[in-house]
Amino acid sequence: MEKIVRPPGPENRGIIGNFPLGGRDPLGTYIDWARRYGPVFYYRAFNRHVYFLNDPELIKSVLLTNYQNFRKGEVLQVSRSVFGNGLLTSEGDAWLRQRRLIQPAFHKDKINSYGEIMVACTERMMEPWQEGHARDVHEDMMGLALEIVTGALFRTDLAQHKAPFGRALNTVLELSAGARMLLPPVLRALPTPANLRYRRAVCQLDEIVFELIRKERSAIGNRGGLISALLAARDEDGHPMTDTQLRDEVMTLLLAGHETTAVSLSWIWYLLAQHPAVEAKLWEELDQVLAGRPPVAADLPRLVWTECIVKEGMRLYPPVWAVVRSPIRECEIGGYRVPARSNVVMSQWVVHHDPQLYPDPDAFRPERWLGETAKALPKFAYFPFGGGPRSCIGSGFATLEAVLVLATVAQRYQLQLATDRQVQPTPTITLRPRGGVQVIPIRRLPER
């Protein structure tokens, strides 16, 4: 690899380096480069020009101040085979129209109404657990989050589809990482084994989602889920959403609505198992606030430490580890000229581990979210759900879910690590724990 140097001037002439695809851990590489070269660095991946922003103010300029000059990055554009033109990938007027149609389903009062379903699903998940028997809590969280999003948003039982949906999703995410997504379209279209696996997985996801839509269309009356709301929605011209539009939004919410929360909770269990003092304080809060009863959404204002644990877990292991934008027109960022159609990367992973923003940044310290210190952070020093107009529509839902699941499980069980193996993050679209998180449940409270 060529030696990395700071951008030589405002026109960014010359190549700083070639990203070592398939070599070093990219997460460690990015942190190393950010600490060595400051708020902006540039590298080349294949023929792509990548500008990496590590300063909250520069990130704000892209995601908020000048957001209209940027579109979603290339990997998400390539992911249209999965997400179609849903909220995650659509642009301009199409995105704004869909956002307005879906937004009412994520009103705070509506989100809070899902709390009972979240807790009920969590309690069902724990039914087969056996004290002292090791299990992969990441696999449990994936299944739980999928059940919650289908039950709460779609009022639909996905039990018969859970296993094939999970396998297909794993395939899509596995093949949506690294160099493959940067290949030219002609190479991604070749009938290679990986490309064929990817297409089969997408087809399987399509079959499941279209079946959900068919069931909802044939149901009598409004069942109160998101699909019902989308079926009833009309645009400014009075037109309903087509099945293809419904498919794209449902696919986006199913995948994005369960994968990110499941990943966050998996890392939180991993962290708690290594920090007994933090865990003891969690039990103390749960015992005091809940006194043995199941949590409800109204408990959130009193579950302060529980929410701090969730926030700190998402700081250390942000479920989405980077946001990418592409300038529509040439622009200036941080004193450097950035050409149109280049890639501007803003990494939650890098910013959340910045020692200038977070003292002892690699330490798990939920108390950093108490008091005035957290309030003094720049706006984009912490952005697990993105930011600006394109921030995650389900951030409130995800936070409620994470707190209620954490409270429900921790009230009844302590999860001890089954091995001393260090779990490494895998940067696909999300930040999955490589090899899962093996734990041993130890009962705290008897069955209700």
Question: What distance in Å separates the CA atoms of residue 406 and residue 256, rounded to the nearest whole number?
Answer: 20
| Radius of gyration for the chain, computed over Cα atoms and rounded to the nearest angstrom | 22
- Global pTM? 0.87
CA dihedral in degrees (270, 276, 279, 280; nearest 10)?
Answer: 170
Element (H, E) at 188: helix 185-188
Question: What distance in Å separates the CA atoms of residue 435 and residue 433, rounded to the nearest whole number?
Answer: 6
pLDDT-derived band at 298 (thresholds 50, 70, 90) equals very high
pLDDT-derived band at 54 (thresholds 50, 70, 90) equals very high
Which residues pair with residue 41 across a beta bridge?
Answer: 52
pLDDT tens figures, 236-275: 777 777 888 888 888 888 777 788 999 999 999 999 999 9
Q: 171 phi and psi, to 5 degrees?
A: -65, -45
Q: Is the dihedral of CA 259, 261, 262, 263 positive or negative?
A: positive
pLDDT tens figures, 371-402: 888 889 999 999 999 999 888 888 999 999 99
Element (H, E) at 425: strand 425-427
How open is the CA angle 170-200-150, to the nearest 5 degrees? 50
Q: pLDDT at residue 181 above 60?
A: no
CA dihedral in degrees (154, 72, 398, 231; nearest 10)?
Answer: -20
Q: What's the token pair of residue 294?
A: 């199941």
Question: What distance in Å separates the CA atoms of residue 41 and residue 316, rounded to the nearest whole number?
Answer: 22
| CB atoms inside a 10 Å sphere around CB 14 | 10
Q: pLDDT at residue 448 above 80?
A: no
Find, among 248, 301, 318, the residue nearest to 94 by Cα: 248
pLDDT-derived band at 1 (thresholds 50, 70, 90) equals very low
How far is Cα of residue 14 from the mean position of the Cα atoms in its chain? 34
pLDDT of residue 445: 66
Q: What's the token pair of residue 49?
A: 């020009």
Question: What distance in Å separates the CA atoms of residue 356 and residue 362, rounded to the nearest whole number?
Answer: 12
Judge whether 247 and 210 are in contact, CB under 8 Å: yes
Question: What distance in Å separates the CA atoms of residue 82 and residue 88, rounded to the nearest whole number?
Answer: 11
pLDDT-derived band at 185 (thresholds 50, 70, 90) equals low
pLDDT-derived band at 157 (thresholds 50, 70, 90) equals low
* DSSP string across 235-286: -TTSPPPPHHHHHHHHHHHHHHHHHHHHHHHHHHHHHHTT-HHHHHHHHHHH
Question: What distance in Å separates the CA atoms of residue 55 and residue 39, rounded to the nearest whole number?
Answer: 5
CA distance between the termini of the chain? 59
Judge whether 149 and 432 are in contact, CB under 8 Å: no
Task: Give residue 321's identity as a one-letter amino acid code.
Answer: W
Neighbour order of strands in the sheet with 48-53: 40-45, 48-53, 343-346, 323-327, 70-72
**Sequence-separated (6 or more) residues with CB below 8 Å from residue 153:** 105, 114, 225, 226, 227, 253, 257
Q: What's the token pair of residue 211?
A: 């079946």
- Domains recognised in the chain with CATH numbers: 26-443 (1.10.630.10)
